[in-house]
């Protein structure tokens, strides 16, 4: 796969937030419409996977409605639907899990992240590095290929995001 053919403007981080040609107004869009757009962005060229994940996302919403537990929020419902296939969610103290998940996600486009060491699974390396530093490295390496590592605030002791 090749990176999306979108012009990058470093001053406009959200300039390409929606797929061109879609008539979606971010202010008026429903959460489902925004989730669908996000799934298309994090699964470039794989609309079938995006559709499978969207169906699973809507099923979680139906399950929550049936259980009358309230809405956990779209991003939290998405977390379980996309984990390790299109996104990651790792403990803040588990750099090995982040390396594994980012490597797995990058492999979808035949990319390999250079973590700056010969063996990123080496215990000595993992003891000296933290998850935010690894996310910064992954972000920099992915930008070289036209991809971006996006993260969302979990408000806890975990890090989550997608490419």
Q: Is the pTM for the entire model greater than 0.85?
A: no
pLDDT tens digit sequence for 31-42: 999 999 999 999
Q: Are residues 78 and 91 in the same domain?
A: no
b/e per residue 115-137 (b: at least 16 CB within 10 A): beeeebeeeebbeebebeebbeb
How far does Cα 87 stand from its chain's mean position?
Answer: 4
- Average model confidence (pLDDT) for the chain? 86
Range of the domain at 124: 84-163
Please give the pLDDT value at position 68: 47
Q: Are residues 69 and 133 in the same domain?
A: no
Across the range 27-54, mean pLDDT stands at 93
* Residue 6 resides in a domain: no
What's the domain count of the chain? Answer: 2
* Residue 59 resides in a domain: yes
* Residue 4 resides in a domain: no
The answer to whether residues 86 and 105 touch, using CB atoms and an 8 Å cutoff, is yes
pLDDT tens digit sequence for 106-130: 999 999 999 999 999 999 999 999 9
Q: Are residues 90 and 159 in the same domain?
A: yes
């Amino acid at each position: 796969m090749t990176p999306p053919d979108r012009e990058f403007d470093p001053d406009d981080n959200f300039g390409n937030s929606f797929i061109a040609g879609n008539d979606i107004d971010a202010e008026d869009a429903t959460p489902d419409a925004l989730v669908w757009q996000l799934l298309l962005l994090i699964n470039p060229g794989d609309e079938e996977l995006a559709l499978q994940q969207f169906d699973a996302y809507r099923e979680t919403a139906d399950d929550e409605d049936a259980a009358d537990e309230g809405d956990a929020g779209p991003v939290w419902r998405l977390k379980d639907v996309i984990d390790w296939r299109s996104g990651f969610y790792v403990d803040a103290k588990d750099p090995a899990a982040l390396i594994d998940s980012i490597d797995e996600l990058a492999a979808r486009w035949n990319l390999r992240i250079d973590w700056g060491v010969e063996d990123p699974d080496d215990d000595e390396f993992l003891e000296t590095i933290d998850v935010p530093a690894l996310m910064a490295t992954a972000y920099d390496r992915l930008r070289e290929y036209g991809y971006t590592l996006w993260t969302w605030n979990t408000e806890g002791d975990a890090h989550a995001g997608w490419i």
